[in-house]
Amino acid sequence: MLVAEKQTGKYFRKKKAAAISGVPYWILICVVKQGIIADKETFRLKIGSYYMKNGKQKISKGRKIAACVLLFICAVFILYCAAVMIYRLATVTEAKRFSAVTRFLAEFGITCLLSVPAVDLGSGLFTWKKNRALKAAGISLRFLSCGVCAVFVALCAAVVVTGMIADDKKVNDVCVLGLAIDGDEMHPDLINRLDRAVEYGDAHPDVRFIATGGNSDDPYYSEAEQMARYLETKGIKKDAGKLVTETRARTTVENFLYSAEIVDKNAPLGVVTSNVHMFRATGIAKKQGYTDIVKIPARSVAVFYPENVMWEMICSFFEILGGEMAL
């Protein structure tokens, strides 16, 4: 048995099979003793669904099918994001076309990054090298890519789930977040936010609304002022003290920064925004010291929902890294 082990061990060293996922030589000897490897001429060492045969790595059929499905989903999503970009280029003003292109490029890059583990799944991209050092580096890259994917999957779940939950708590003030307005047209998602505010106001007649938003292509009216005009047509009047406008904010961070001059950070504050935006909005508010955020999500346009989720994931990731958002 000792001679057989030595012969088998020599064969493994010759074929560098000990480099398989960094498996130590003594483990391979234990595997030989258990009879898993039949002989030294044609060995087959199974590790998960990987195996080495005659010194070459093989990937199971199931892994290849799973990888193809994942890569197909990524490709379809990229085409979908490209279609959304083309739609935006055709409908937004010239000043906002550059942002539409950069938004697509960011989504394209992140989708390609998230597809790397799928490529590795189907090809063993990071572990095919026989050199032990290169294989160790490949395994490290595998864990890194899988870790990045895990972070974005967690962010995706947070964005979707947070937008599905509406809090039922009494508040005195409700902040309605604005959305970029192209010319005289309000975005359908902004209209949905305003309609949700009206619905909430009908159920809670004592609430005061703060319409916040300063960025607008209209030279005469800010986002907040156009939102206020819409809300007044629905019965929420400035004169009755039910509506206040904040006209300086250009980002979500500034929405809450300037709204703090109107409301009390320590009191419950209702926030009306799109469901896909709710996770990021509440995180930014918490970072700025708001102690009690009451979520009042509005529905998003269904056809843009997946792309909006991806964009919110990207923005949340970088704002968390930048310290502008709390979890």
148's CB contacts (< 8 A; 6+ apart) are 113, 114
In this structure, the strands spanning 243-246 and 269-274 are unpaired
Sign (positive/negative) of CA torsion 105, 108, 111, 117? negative
Domain spans in the chain, listed from the N-terminal domain onward? 2-59, 61-163, 166-321
Identify which has the larger pLDDT, 266 or 323.
266
From 28-42, 81-95, 172-186, the region with the lowest mean pLDDT: 28-42
- Per-residue pLDDT reduced to its tens digit, 265-294: 999 999 999 999 999 999 999 999 999 999
Q: Which two tokens stand for residue 171?
A: 């508040």
Confidence band, pLDDT 50/70/90 cuts, at residue 299: very high
Q: Which of 246, 256, 259, 258 is CA-nearest to residue 277? A: 256
Pick the CATH number of 166-321 from 3.10.129.10, 3.40.190.10, 3.40.50.620, 3.30.1330.40: 3.40.50.620
**pTM for the model:** 0.78
Task: Summarize the confidence of residues 172-190 as an average pLDDT.
Answer: 85
Q: pLDDT grade, residue 3 (50/70/90)?
A: very low
Q: Name the more confident of 44 and 313.
A: 313
Specify the higher pLDDT residue, 95 or 158.
Answer: 158
CA 82, 83, 86, 87 torsion: positive or negative? negative
Taking each helix axis as running N to C, give the angle between helix 132-164 and helix 305-321, from 0 to 180 degrees, rounded to the nearest 10: 110
Mean pLDDT of the chain: 80
* pLDDT per residue as tens digits for the range 196-233: 999 999 999 899 999 999 876 656 678 889 999 999 99
Q: What is the model's pLDDT at position 184?
A: 66
Give me the mean pLDDT over the 177-182 stretch.
Answer: 82
pLDDT digit string, tens, across residues 153-163: 999 999 999 99
Q: Which of 273, 274, 320, 268 is nearest to 292 (CA)?
A: 268
Report the share of the chain in percent with pLDDT over 70.
Answer: 76
Asked if pLDDT for residue 309 goes beyond 90, the answer is yes
What band does 1 get if pLDDT is binned at 50, 70 and 90?
A: very low
Mean pLDDT along residues 82-105: 88
Least confident interval from 10-14, 67-71, 133-137, 277-281: 10-14
